[in-house]
Chains A and B, each alone.
Chain A
């Protein structure tokens, strides 16, 4: 009896919800509307969360109306892009290279909507990737490392050997060469991004070979790199590491000299601002130090040990990169 009553109530709710179904189809609003598709959960504390933080800031700072969908598979991308475009959204983000194929299929039918993928290389009149120039900051890492190195040997530890990862090392090497021609940079790839022990082992091996400055691109397995450097430093060696992507200076404040920082949420705000103001162009949206999306953050606890002329030269170099006077080499992808 109770069950039947509950069912009736449920049915009532269901029917009550129905009349709203037909109504407003074409909702013409002046409000700027922004949507985001992520390939995973927005509470992952990493890639997807950063994008959602960006979307929330777009809502707060631009007064936009926002919407988010977690797409479970590439088979869903196209339909979700279409749904948003059909609803009249002004800007739809696809958070990953894997969205570009579906976006390219949808974009021509909805010229009023701008589609932006996070990384990628597909460009149409209303579709462009945003490309983060973390290379500008890793260039400075390389430059500073080569200036301060006593052995003239540097090391770079990557996760998966992807063009985007390799590219940050290309810039690191170029920065090092610029400061000290003939400097040696050894690169090691682990094949994965989450293996702390492997990162630690690789770092120890590079230190054994005489490297005294290490940069990494292994996301949170960077902890392993820092541990190895800390162990070596505890034995009295002057060895340092660089953090990447996030400000990792506080992960090992005694050995992380600086971090190449990427501010993903601000990138979303920057792109949304450009689209809203009509300054969107059909070309990759390069976001680096000039736009304030990438930064080179020295560890204040350690930078006191660097001689003033080196710091001045570093600041001048950073200013040149920001103004666009210095183009940092990067991988081609």
Chain B
């Protein structure tokens, strides 16, 4: 009981400590800290519109955070959620602007999302294959594949996927039917990401495949003696993670931008690592964790808008909060990982 309380207390302590340091940093940079933090809080959740923005920004973080949590739980250090996100967005754009009819109905959403997930999964599986067949460290390959995906997008929008007028480096707009339906700008991707969290939680904690993934992550050699293949399961984990990150790319495309751009959505793939660590790799805990990071990003924009804090200063504040919260969370992580397999729950 006391242990539980401590587990709960650490993120709160982290949040408070980071607020304290943020105040100090803002003072040192010559900005009024109270007005800035007020703008941060109000911008993150002070109005329905602020909540909309926070949820929009949390959605890709939730999906990529799940991708990272899932692969880390299998002992696969997937740093490539960013690249998998772009691969998904690229595949979704290709299908939406080159294959699907421009005048199709709302059913177009389904193939676009599937294409995004498959594109990301394929990209993740590529790193998995390199790891299984050639023993290439997935840390290296996934990082490098990030650059490959980003440059592929840059090539595509100046080449084969560029808009018909060829004036600007951007893709054609997605057909209307391929855009995610939205209720007051909260698009379908938001509930979709929540469902994904439930599915991943169920998969990891309640299925045989999930058990195998965790077993391999926890003790690869023991798992091998038990007849499991860490290589094959690692590839599966990377493909599943890629699928989630690719879905995030498709959701950003079909829910937010409507076209593919260079730098469509930079960052979530990397922030996702922090999101997953703060959640201590538990899929359901990724939901509040992603929400927290989304609120932080959204509030930081409001700090620029309303309190005239330059973006560099807001980035310092964001960085401090991320560092501290992950630092606090990591202190608990080793303990969490020891408990998980024996109890079969997170």
Contact = CB atoms under 8 A, between A and B. Distances in A.
Q: A and B bound?
A: yes
Interface of A: 3, 6-7, 9-11, 13-14, 16-18, 20-22, 25, 35, 39, 41-43, 67-80, 82-84, 86-87, 97-98, 101-102, 105, 120-121, 160, 162-163, 333
A17 B37 contact: yes
A72 B42 contact: no
Contact of B261 (A42, A43, A98): A98
Nearest to B19: A10
A160 to B, nearest CB: 8
Contacts, number: 121
B305 A14 contact: no
Contacts of A18: 38, 41
A75 B20 contact: no
A20 B304 CA distance: 17
B170 A10 contact: no
B305 A69 contact: yes
A80 B301 contact: yes
What 7 pairs across the A-B complex have the smallest Cβ distances?
A10-B20, A70-B311, A75-B256, A17-B38, A333-B167, A74-B257, A69-B304
B308 interface: yes
Given A13-B37, A73-B264, A121-B167, A79 B53 contact: yes
Given A13-B23, A18-B38, A67 B167 contact: no
Contact of A74 (B168, B264, B308): B264
A83 B51 CA distance: 12
B23 A75 contact: no
Nearest to A39: B263
Contacts of A25: 47
B319 interface: no
Given A6-B17, A79-B52, 17 more contacts: A14-B16, A14-B41, A17-B37, A20-B38, A22-B46, A67-B304, A72-B267, A74-B261, A75-B256, A75-B264, A76-B57, A79-B56, A83-B53, A86-B49, A98-B170, A98-B261, A163-B167
A121 B167 CA distance: 9
A84 B256 contact: no
A96 to B, nearest CB: 9
Most buried by A among B20, B35, B258: B20
A212 B301 CA distance: 51
B189 to A, nearest CB: 11
Interface of B: 13, 16-17, 19-20, 23, 33-35, 37-38, 41-42, 46-47, 49, 52-53, 56-57, 60, 158, 165-170, 173, 185, 252, 256-259, 261, 263-267, 301-302, 304-306, 308, 310-312
A164 to B, nearest CB: 8
A163 B165 CA distance: 10
B271 to A, nearest CB: 11
A68 B266 contact: no
9 contacts: A10-B20, A13-B37, A74-B257, A75-B252, A75-B256, A78-B185, A87-B305, A97-B168, A333-B165
Interface of A is mostly: helix
Given A11-B16, A78-B256, A83-B49, A73 B265 contact: yes
Nearest to A9: B20
A3 B38 CA distance: 23
A10 B167 contact: no
Contact of B37 (A14, A22, A43, A72): A14
Contacts of A84: 305
B304 A10 contact: no
Nearest to B263: A73
A42 B56 CA distance: 25
A83 B266 CA distance: 21
A105 to B, nearest CB: 8
A41 B311 contact: yes
A71 B47 CA distance: 21
Contacts of A105: 258
Contacts of A35: 305
Contacts of A98: 168, 170, 261
A6 B277 CA distance: 25
A11 to B, nearest CB: 6
B187 to A, nearest CB: 11
B13 A7 contact: yes
Given A70-B311, A74-B256, A101-B173, A17 B34 contact: yes
Contacts of A80: 301, 305
Contacts of A74: 256-257, 259, 261, 263-265
Given A21-B42, A121-B167, A75 B265 contact: yes
Nearest to A6: B20
Nearest to B166: A163
A101 B258 contact: yes
Contacts of B53: 79, 83
Contacts of B173: 101
A89 to B, nearest CB: 10
A235 B264 CA distance: 49
